Structure formats: structure tokens, C-alpha cells
């Protein structure tokens, strides 16, 4: 499968998981939140290590900004994940903090699908995109496991 198609499919998984978190409570909510945290950490790391560098190298100077913006949005999400992890899930501000994370991530995924993927498709040949999937998944798994350990 094309790594870019795979990225889109994972985004849909994250959207579902965020909905589940919103409708859960207490320990279950925390558990699902940590699942999202670890998976998204792996997803972002895999994008940054496997897909973004190639696109950055191939696109014209003015299009590099799209990729840089993706990376900055990952940092923004990461910041809010840390804040939520430090906050008790029963705290009255948890849901508001999560809503902000959700908005950041939804905006990011939409922009990544509309702008970044469109750009990446133009500069990475189809065979290469298929070849990248394995590497993407191995980085994702490794980084996800590291985060899971850290969150225990
Ligand atoms: Fe993504
Ligand atoms: Fe991303």
C-alpha cells in the first residue's frame, strides 16, 4: 500500500479514538487517552523520519513551508499531550484541555491530507511510496512502544 494512503487511514482511526475518549469516563478515558498519545507519537515520528525528509528534499523552496508547518503542528500537539498527561483526568479542566488538543489535531490532519499529501504525491513516485510503508510502520512501532513504556 501507498504510505500516503496509510497515513490517511490512520488519521481516521485517530478521529474515531478521539470521539471514544470524549464519551468515556475516568480510568477508561485515561487508558484511551494514553493509547492515542502513544499511537500518535509513533505516527508523527514516522512521518518526520520517513516521509517528510524526502518531500523536503524534492519540493521547490516555496513548498518547503508546508512541510515545516506540519512539523510545528506536531510540536504543538505534543505540548498539549504532555499537559493532559500531567493533569488528573478527573480535574475540571481536563475536558477543555482535551478539546484544544482535538482541535489542533483535527486541523493538522486536515491540512496534512489536503496540502501535504497532495504535494508529496507529486514528488514521490508511486513505487517509492509503496516501498516507504514498511519503514514507516517499523519506526511507528518502535516509537509507539517507547512512549507506552514511558507512560506506564
Ligand atoms: Fe499524519
Ligand atoms: Fe502529521
SS3 labels along 49-72: HHHHHHHHHHCCHHHHHHHHHHHH
pLDDT of residue 50: 98
State in Å: Cα 2 to ligand 2 middle: 16
pLDDT of residue 76: 98
pLDDT < 50 positions in the chain: none
- The model's pTM is 0.97
Of the ligands numbered here, which is closest to the C-alpha atom of 74?
2
State in Å: Cα 6 to ligand 2 middle: 12
State in Å: Cα 28 to ligand 1 middle: 25
pLDDT of residue 147: 98
Those residues whose C-beta lies under 8 Å from the C-beta of residue 139, and which sit 6 or more positions away, are 42, 45, 46, 49, 50
- To 10 degrees, what angle do helices 26-46 and 64-86 make? 150
Of the ligands numbered here, which is closest to the C-alpha atom of 48?
2
DSSP 7: H
Those residues whose C-beta lies under 8 Å from the C-beta of residue 44, and which sit 6 or more positions away, are 74, 77, 78
Choose among 81, 98, 97: nearest CA to 44.
Answer: 81
State in Å: Cα 102 to ligand 2 middle: 13
Choose among 139, 114, 89: nearest CA to 11.
Answer: 114
State in Å: Cα 66 to ligand 1 middle: 13
Q: Which CATH class is domain 3-151?
A: mainly alpha
State in Å: Cα 14 to ligand 2 middle: 12
pLDDT of residue 14: 98
What would the grid cell of residue 19 be? 470521539
State in Å: Cα 108 to ligand 2 middle: 7
Amino acid at each position: 500500500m501507498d504510505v500516503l494512503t496509510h497515513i490517511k487511514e490512520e488519521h481516521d482511526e485517530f478521529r474515531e479514538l478521539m470521539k471514544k475518549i470524549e464519551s468515556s469516563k475516568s480510568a477508561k478515558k485515561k487508558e484511551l487517552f494514553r493509547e492515542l498519545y502513544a499511537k500518535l507519537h509513533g505516527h508523527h515520528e514516522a512521518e518526520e523520519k520517513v516521509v517528510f525528509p524526502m518531500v523536503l528534499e524534492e519540493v521547490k523552496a516555496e513548498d518547503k513551508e508546508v512541510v515545516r508547518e506540519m512539523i510545528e503542528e506536531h510540536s504543538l500537539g505534543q505540548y498539549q499531550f504532555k499537559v493532559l498527561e500531567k493533569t488528573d483526568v478527573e480535574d475540571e479542566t481536563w475536558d477543555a484541555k482535551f478539546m484544544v488538543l482535538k482541535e489542533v489535531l483535527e486541523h493538522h490532519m486536515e491540512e496534512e491530507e489536503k496540502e501535504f499529501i497532495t504535494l508529496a504525491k507529486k514528488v514521490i513516485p508511486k513505487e517509492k511510496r509503496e516501498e516507504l510503508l514498511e519503514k514507516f510502520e517499523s519506526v511507528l512501532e518502535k516509537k509507539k512502544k517507547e512512549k507506552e513504556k514511558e507512560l506506564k
